[in-house]
Chains A and B, each alone.
Chain A
Amino acid sequence: MNYIQFLEMRPEISLLAIFVIIFTYDLIARGKWRHYFHPITCLLLMLHTGICMSESYREIDIFSGMYYTNSMIGILKTILTGGTVLLVLQANKWLRSANTTHKQGEFYTLLLSTLLGMYIMISARHFLLFFIGMELASLPLACLVAFDKYRHHSAEAGVKYILSSMFTSAVMLYGISFLYGTTGTLYFQEMTSGIDGSPLQIFALTLFFAGMGFKISLVPFHMWTADTYQGAPTVVSSYLSVISKGAAAFTLMTILIKVFAPMIEYWQIILYALTVLSITIANLFAIRQTDLKRFMAFSSISQAGYIMLAVIGGAKDGMSALVFYVLVYIFANLAVFGIIETIEHQTRSNVSRDDCNALYKTNPRLTLLMTLALFSLAGIPPFAGFFSKFFVFMSAFKAGFWILVFIALINTVISLYYYLLIVKAMYITPNETPIPTFNSSKYSRISCVICLAGIVLLGICSFVFEEIDRISFGM
């Protein structure tokens, strides 16, 4: 065994090093050094993003094909890390509040271990490594969901998340065991030649979809989403909604095109049904939500449906549309969740739509950012969200699913309605006692500015998409 191979996994090693540094710092730092904990973590993570980016243009195939990375996977890792940096910036106020300040270190270490799990998950070319990565990505997340120990909601959300996560991953493993039984290997590459669409393999494919559908929260497997998002701390909800979802969607696409390529007509039918169900049902449920976090949960389910439009063709342009969609979605969704987080910190309770009434009068800049982010989520032209939706639709259209694209287009109109309900509440609805003017911390202001830049510029600067499109790979 050649141990020097481990040195090739540089993003993972760098993340692990940061993990160890933060863990040790948490143990030994006392007094005023506790105060610098958050800035130091932010700096280390930014450094790590830089390392990821510089390491991304390499193609590596180690451990006899178990671990594989190329420039596309490297870019996705950079995007996920960048999203985590934004998230940690936003978490500043919550982490400094009285109930969590002594648990800061635990938050960072748990967050970084889920990130490491996602790295492994998207680089895995072997089902054992994939399974370990997936569990490493979801177990610490359960701890994070139940992080607010003294809040009833958090515990309830945590137990709902961990039990359904265990159940679905077990169901998925049962499917993988049948794949192993019929093909005799767990390597993706060798398994493809043994896949012939026998009934047992169709059964395995269905069970596999149950597990991944849970991670991406597609509709028949979405029941945990709204409860968990509402109960979890806001920072953790936004992590669940963008970063863990983006990694899982990419993994689903790689496994479908690498392993299940001979069964394409079967999984296209399944994906077709899942996409239509996710987009439509989530949109209809989102209309009747008043709690903003619950509302964002249903919005994220329907966005996951749109991401699946990119997967269904299984082609090269689908993959580039997927990664670009995840990139834009991270900026827009983190902006919305960041604003919910700051308002929540101000009112000290869950934010409902009525709380936002006439927010424009007291906090105009915050309202403007929220409006732009919601427009981007809905896909209104000058913003990045329009372009990402357009590319996703294009890739599904090229693959010949024009009825599906039509259904998705109708649903875009419905989604525009409920996003605009919030905009209307903020600008038009009169309110005697709006939330008073407040200043958010400078960390969350930095992250808001970055999100704003992402929302506005990503659509206009076409070289970003061209670069992603150049390095993407398909079936």
Chain B
Amino acid sequence: MIPAEYYLVLAALMFFIGVFGFFTRRNLLAVLISTELILNAIDINFAVFNAYYYPEHLEGFFFTMFAIGIAAAETAVAIAIILNVYRNMGTIRLKNLKKLKF
């Protein structure tokens, strides 16, 4: 059996790749994909903790299922708003979002 640490390291890597992508990407869709990566890292974390350390209850798996559902809802709303930005400005480059500024 694969040790739990492998999965946890994978999840941590995905988390930090997602954080890095969130700050460095220049396209709204790419930023959205980065947050999805973070959410998937969380799902792995919960599932692994449940399966390896606390197999008597199913709390972690349930959390994973709900997190997947809510992540889908978040993505739907975010894409709808990004579409709205595209209709208003004709582009989804982040550098064009500069009407509201200090």
Contacts and interface: CB of A to CB of B under 8 A. Distances in A.
Contacts of B99: 152-153, 156, 231
Given A153-B100, A163-B78, A180 B49 contact: yes
Contacts of B53: 181, 184
Interface in B24-80: 28, 31-32, 35, 38-39, 41-42, 45-46, 49-50, 53-54, 57, 59-60, 62-63, 66-67, 70, 73-74, 77-78, 80
A186 interface: yes
A245 B70 CA distance: 22
B42 A173 contact: yes
Contacts of A226: 100, 102
Interface string A118-144: 000000000110011001000100110
Given A131-B70, A166-B74, A181 B81 contact: no
B85 interface: yes
A185 interface: yes
A171 interface: yes
A167 B38 contact: yes
A131 B63 CA distance: 9
A184 B54 contact: yes
A259 to B, nearest CB: 15
Given A166-B35, A231-B100, A177 B46 contact: yes
A156 B86 CA distance: 10
Interface string A153-164: 101111110110
B46 A146 contact: no
A180 B88 contact: no
B77 A128 contact: no
B82 interface: yes
Given A155-B88, A163-B35, A181 B45 contact: yes
A313 B91 CA distance: 48
Contact of B84 (A149, A163, A174): A149
Given A152-B88, A177-B49, A185-B59, A160 B66 contact: no
A177 B45 CA distance: 6
Contacts of A128: 59, 62-63, 66
Which bracket fits the contact residues of A? 35 or more
Nearest to A171: B38
A230 interface: yes
A178 B62 CA distance: 16
Contacts of B10: none
A317 interface: no
B77 A135 contact: no
A196 to B, nearest CB: 16
A206 B68 CA distance: 24
B22 to A, nearest CB: 6
B13 interface: no
Contacts of B73: 135, 139
A142 B66 CA distance: 20
Contacts of A152: 88-89, 99
Contacts of B9: none
B100 A227 contact: yes
Given A143-B77, A152-B89, A180 B46 contact: yes
A170 interface: yes
A465 B5 CA distance: 52
Contact of B97 (A156, A170, A173): A156
Contact of A170 (B42, B77, B81): B42
Nearest to A181: B49
A292 to B, nearest CB: 14
B77 A142 contact: yes
Most buried by B among A127, A153, A185, A186: A186
Contacts of A132: 66, 70
Contact of B67 (A139, A143, A159, A173): A173
A178 B53 CA distance: 12
A166 B59 CA distance: 23
Given A166-B74, A173-B67, A184-B54, A160 B32 contact: no
Given A152-B89, A167-B38, A174-B15, A159 B100 contact: no
A448 B4 CA distance: 59
A163 B45 contact: no
Contacts of B22: 167
A155 B54 CA distance: 44
Contacts of A185: 57, 59
Nearest to B96: A156
The listed residue with most A CB atoms (<10 A of its CB), out of B53, B60, B66, B77, is B77
B60 A135 contact: no
A226 B62 CA distance: 37
A174 B102 CA distance: 32
Given A128-B66, A156-B85, 4 more contacts: A155-B87, A159-B81, A170-B42, A186-B63
6 shortest interchain CB distances as A-B pairs? A177-B45, A181-B49, A170-B38, A227-B100, A184-B54, A155-B84
13 contacts: A127-B63, A128-B63, A128-B66, A135-B73, A143-B81, A146-B81, A159-B28, A162-B77, A166-B74, A170-B42, A173-B39, A181-B49, A226-B102
Interface of A: 127-128, 131-132, 135, 139, 142-143, 146, 149-153, 155-160, 162-163, 166-167, 170-171, 173-174, 177-178, 180-181, 184-186, 226-227, 230-231
